[in-house]
Amino acid sequence: MPRHYAIVPAAGSGARFGAEKPKQYLDLLGRPLIFHTLAALTAHPAIERVWVVLSPDDAEWSRHDWLALGPKLETVRCGGATRAASVTNGLRAAAMAAADDDWILVHDAARPCLSAAMLDALVAGLADDPVGGILAVPVADTLKRADAAQRVAATEPRDGLWQAQTPQMFRYGRLLEALENCPGVTDEAGAIEALGLAPKLVRGDSTNLKVTYPADLALAAMILRARQ
Ligand code: C5P
C-alpha cells in the first residue's frame, strides 16, 4: 500500500501581505498561522509525516513551541527562490523516506483552514487515480479582464473554470520528475500537466482560502472560530 506524506512550503516572504514578518507566522487565534495548517495535516490518520520547508535564514520558527503537533512533524531548511523550488527541495529531502509510488500532498503554509473533511475527500477521491489531483472550486463570480487604466476590457467566460487550491496530491517519483522538468510553474498540477497528464479536480470549498492580504487573516479567524 502506498503511504501518504505531506510537504508544506513555508519559505515565502509574504510580500503582498505587507506585514513585518512572513505571513505564516502572523497571529491567528493565539497561534502562528502555520500552526493551524500543520495541525490539520498532522491530525489526519492517513498522513504519516509532514515536512515543513523553511527558508535557510528563517529566524521565526525556533521562537515558537510546536510540541503539540506531535512526532509526525519534521523541518527542513531548504526553501528556494520560488514556491516550486521550495517544493522541489522538500521532495529531495524526503527521498530517504518516500518511495516513487507514495502519495505526496503539497499544501500551502498560508491555507490554515483546511478541514479534515476536505482532506478525507481528497485522499479518498484519488486513492485509485492513475494521475492524482487537487482540491479546487468552480469559479462563482463573473470574470473581468482589466485594461491598463483599470477599466473593463472584456468579460471572460467562466464556464469550466476552477480555482486551484491545495493540497495537491501526486505520486512522489512523478511529482519530483515533473517539477525538475518544469521549474517555472505556480503549482504542482501545472508541472504534471506539462507531462501531458490531466490531474483530477476534487471539489473543495471556499473556506480553504489562502491568506494573501490582511482581510484574509480576519476571515480565516472567523472560519476557525466558527468550527470550534
Ligand atoms: O506567496 P504565495 O501565497 O503564493 O505562497 C504560497 C506558499 O508557498 C506559501 O506557503 C509560501 O510560504 C510558500 N513559498 C515558499 N517559497 C517561496 C515562495 C513561497 O515556500 N520562495
Of all residues in the chain, the percent with pLDDT exceeding 70 is: 100
Instruction: Give the ligand 1 atom nearest the CA of 15.
Output: 1
Q: What is the pTM of this model?
A: 0.97
- Report how far ligand 1's centroid is from the alpha carbon of 88 (Å): 13
Average confidence (pLDDT) over 66-92: 97
Structural domains of the chain in order of their starting residue, each with its CATH number: 4-227 (3.90.550.10)
Instruction: Give the ligand 1 atom nearest the CA of 111.
Output: 10
Instruction: Give the ligand 1 atom nearest the CA of 81.
Output: 21
* Best residue for ligand 1 mutational test, from 108, 163, 168, 208 (most atoms within 8 Å of Cβ): 108
pLDDT given at position 66: 98
Which cell is 203 given?
A: 471539489
Decide whether any atom of ligand 1 lies within 6 Å of the 83 Cβ.
yes
Per-residue pLDDT of 125-162, as tens digits, reads 999 999 999 999 999 999 999 999 999 999 999 999 99
Average confidence (pLDDT) over 111-125: 98
Please say whether the beta carbons of 186 and 108 come within 8 A: no
Decide whether any atom of ligand 1 lies within 6 Å of the 82 Cβ.
yes
- Report how far ligand 1's centroid is from the alpha carbon of 193 (Å): 20
pLDDT given at position 94: 97
pLDDT confidence band for 15 (50 / 70 / 90): confident
Decide whether any atom of ligand 1 lies within 6 Å of the 109 Cβ.
yes
Rounded to 5°, the CA angle 113-114-115 comes to 105
Which cell is 151 given?
A: 477599466
Query: What mean pLDDT value characterizes the chain?
Result: 96
